[in-house]
Amino acid sequence: MLHDIKVLIVDDSAVVRKVFSEQLSKQKGITVIGTAPDPYVARDKIVKLKPDVITLDIEMPRMDGITFLRKLMKYYPLPVIIVSSLTTKGSKLAFEALSLGALEVISKPSAAYSVGDMSLQLAEKIRAISRVRVLPSTAKKTENAPLGAIESKALSVTTNKIVAIGASTGGTEAIKKVLTRLPQNFPGIVVVQHMPARFTTSFAERLDELCQMNVVEAKNGDTVINGRVLIAPGNYHMIFKRSGARYYVEIKKGPLVHYQRPAVDVLFKSVARYAGANALGIILTGMGKDGAAGMLDMKKAGAINIAQDEKSSVVFGMPKEAIKIGAVDHVHDINAIAGKTISLLERL
C-alpha cells in the first residue's frame, strides 16, 4: 500500500503554518509531518523527517527562501512548491525559484487566515509533484542565457500561421526551452500557462529577456503577429479571434475550466474555430487533462499538434490525455519541439 504524501511546511508566519497544517491534514493521502519557521529549522527537519514535498515561503528571517532552495537542490533535492506574495518582488523571486528547480508556485493571500481557501489547489499540486524525481542542481544544465535560434529560411511563407501552446506543472521551464530556440521573425504565438495573477507579468518579462521574439503579457485586443508571443494573464481566459485577415486575442473573466483560469482548452478551442488548418498546437508538461479536448478540436479543424514526451515531462498528465484521445500528431522530447515546430510550419 502506498504511504501518504509527507509534507513539510516552511513559512515564517505562524498563522500560515497552522492553517496549512490543519487544511492539508484534511486532504486524503496527505500528511503534514512538520513545520518550520525558517530554513535552519527546515534543514534539520528535512534530514530527520524525510518529507516527500516541501512548501516554501521566499521572504523569511535568517535565510531567504531562494538561498535555501539553491542549497537544497544541490545537496538534498526534493519537490518544492513556492508560496509567494503577489508583490512584484515576490513574483520575480518566484520565477528565480522555478529556474532553480522549484516545480510549482502559488500566491499567498494578503490576509493570512484566507490561506485555507488555497488548500484544495495546494493539495492537487502536492499530489501532482510528489512522485517527481528531482535531480541535484549540479546534474542540470543551466539555461539562464538564451539558446541559439534554429535557422529557418522559409518562415515568410507562414505569415498567416499561428502557434498555440498550453502547459501547467513544470511548464515555465518547458516553455522557455521552446521559445528560446525560435527565431525573431517566427509566426505569432499564444500561450496559456497555469499560473496565478501577477506572476504571468514576471514570466513574460523574463522570457522577453531571453528570447529573440518579443514576449508580453497579453492585453485585450492585442494583435497576434509575427515575432510576438502573447502570454495569457493569470486569472483571465485568453480567447483567440479573427477579424478579416487580423488575428487578435480577447482577455476576459469567466468560469473556471478544469479548475483553471486561464485554461488551455479555452484557448485551443478558439484557435480551432478561428485559425483551423493555419494553426499548430503544442501541449507541454502539466497535471490534469486541460487542453486535450481543445487540441482534438484543433486537429479536427486541420491543425497539426505536438505533445511533449513522458520522459522529459515533469508531470505527464496533459500530454498523456491529449495523446490518449487521438489529438496529437507528433510526440517529442522538449529539446526537439522547437526544431520540429519550425520544420512543420515550413512545409505548410
* Sheet strands side by side (includes 53-57): 30-36, 5-10, 53-57, 80-84, 104-107
Q: CA–CA separation, 170 vs 271, rounded Å? A: 23
| Contacts of 58 by beta carbon, 8 Å cutoff, 6+ apart | 64, 65, 66, 82, 83, 84, 85, 90, 93, 94, 97
Q: Where are the alpha helices (DSSP H) in the chain?
A: 14-24, 39-49, 65-75, 88-100, 119-129, 171-179, 199-210, 264-274, 292-300, 318-324, 334-347
What are the residues facing 243 on neighbouring strands?
246
Question: What per-residue string of b and e applies to 227-261 under the rule 16 or more CB within 10 Å gives b?
Answer: bbbbbbbbbbbbbbbbeeeebbbebeeeeebbebb
Catalytic one among 85, 107, 168, 313? 168
Q: Considering 194, 202, 237, 258, which one is annotated as catalytic?
A: 194
Is-catalytic flag, 329? no
Task: For residue 67, count other CB atoms closer than 10 A to its CB.
Answer: 12
Active site residue 258: no
Residue 326 identity = G
Contacting residues for 26 by C-beta, under 8 A, at least 6 apart: 119
For residues 158 and 95, is the Cβ–Cβ distance under 8 A? no
3-class SS of residue 225? coil
- Residue tagged active-site, from 38, 52, 265, 290: 290
Query: How far apart, in Å, are the Cα atoms of 257 and each of 11, 103, 124, 300, 320?
Result: 30, 22, 15, 21, 18
Task: Assess whether 44 carries a catalytic annotation.
Answer: no
The residues assigned a catalytic role are 168, 194, 290
